[in-house]
Chain A
Amino acid sequence: MSIRSVIDVVNQMQAAGVMESYAIGGAVGATFYLEPVATLDVDIFVSLRPAPGSLIVNPTSLFDYLKDRGGAMSGEYVMISGWPVQFLPPRTPLVEEALKQAVTRDVEGTPARVLSAEHLAAIALQTGRAKDKARLLQFLEADGFPMDRFHAIIERHGLAPAWEKFHRQFLDHTP
């Protein structure tokens, strides 16, 4: 069981042209910036190319590639090196931007594409589940990203009201 192996496989998939680009998100992505927090799966955002002569993006080639190499499908997950991995297309302009602006980090000589801290924080704000709010608080407490870039992102993607609400709930200590 190794996330390093998952990163190796995803790098190979990108090199083989199965996907245009990828970036690790979710709790594993957050671990690139924060303390590790237990998680059961790996979220990988992917940008796929349409098949030649088609305008429609089809994820079949991605899953075929993995199946041919022994990847077991389990619901919406693919088991890679003992980890359930979920490949996610960007479904909002925010995630699309986050994928385009992802950064490459070095993991003992292996390149790993990961969403930027400010985009992970903005996505947590947008998604808005309890665990996402907890993650956003972790980012804020760790002072782990440039606030000006975070604010630019939330303005650009219409998240200012959500941020104001979050601020009132968790950061505004006045009675």
Chain B
Amino acid sequence: MTFNPQKILASKRALRRGLATLPLAEKLRMLDRLRERQVAIRGPLADKPATNPRAQPQP
């Protein structure tokens, strides 16, 4: 654990590099899981991407 910004940024870069070098199939499975979470958060009515966010009905 550190509060050194340089070390924190280096650690973030290392994490991203590590994720980028994962096997393709594993990265694609991660996309599946990320989308499942997004859909869960947004709700079933938003289970598709909005082509124009401004056209969405106001809450």
Chain A residues proximal to chain B, CB less than 8 Å: 1-4, 27-28, 31-41, 74-77, 83-84, 105-108, 112, 141-142, 144
Inter-subunit contact B49/A107 (CB<8 Å): no
The count of A-to-B residue pairs whose CB atoms sit within 8 angstroms is 73
Instruction: Give A4 to B26 CA distance when docked, in angstroms.
Output: 10
Inter-subunit contact B51/A75 (CB<8 Å): yes
Inter-subunit contact B13/A141 (CB<8 Å): yes
Instruction: Give A108 to B24 CA distance when docked, in angstroms.
Output: 8
Whether A1 touches B20, Cβ cut-off 8 Å, given contacts A36-B27, A77-B49, is no
Report B-chain residues with C-beta under 8 Å of the C-beta of A28: 28, 31
Task: Among B17, B19, B28, B48, point to the contact of A40 (Cβ < 8 A).
Answer: B48
The A-contacting residues of B in range 10-59, CB under 8 angstroms, are: 13, 16-17, 19-20, 23-25, 27-32, 34-39, 48-49, 51
Report B-chain residues with C-beta under 8 Å of the C-beta of A27: 31
Classify the secondary structure of B's interface with A.
helix
Chain B residues proximal to chain A, CB less than 8 Å: 13, 16-17, 19-20, 23-25, 27-32, 34-39, 48-49, 51
Inter-subunit contact A2/B32 (CB<8 Å): yes
Report A-chain residues with C-beta under 8 Å of the C-beta of B31: 3, 27-28, 31, 36, 38-39
Inter-subunit contact A41/B32 (CB<8 Å): no
- Name which residue of chain B comes closest to A86, CB basis: B49
Inter-subunit contact A40/B51 (CB<8 Å): no
Task: Among A35, A76, A106, point to the contact of B19 (Cβ < 8 A).
Answer: A35
Inter-subunit contact B19/A36 (CB<8 Å): yes
5 nearest A-B pairs in the assembled complex, by CB-CB distance: A35-B19, A38-B34, A40-B49, A36-B30, A108-B25
Q: Can you sample 29 A-B contacts with CB below 8 Å?
A: A1-B36, A3-B31, A3-B32, A4-B25, A28-B31, A31-B31, A33-B20, A34-B20, A36-B19, A36-B27, A36-B28, A36-B30, A36-B31, A36-B34, A37-B34, A38-B37, A38-B38, A39-B34, A40-B35, A40-B49, A76-B51, A77-B49, A83-B35, A84-B49, A105-B24, A106-B24, A112-B24, A142-B17, A142-B20
Task: Among A34, A38, A77, point to the contact of B48 (Cβ < 8 A).
Answer: A77
Report A-chain residues with C-beta under 8 Å of the C-beta of B24: 32, 105-108, 112
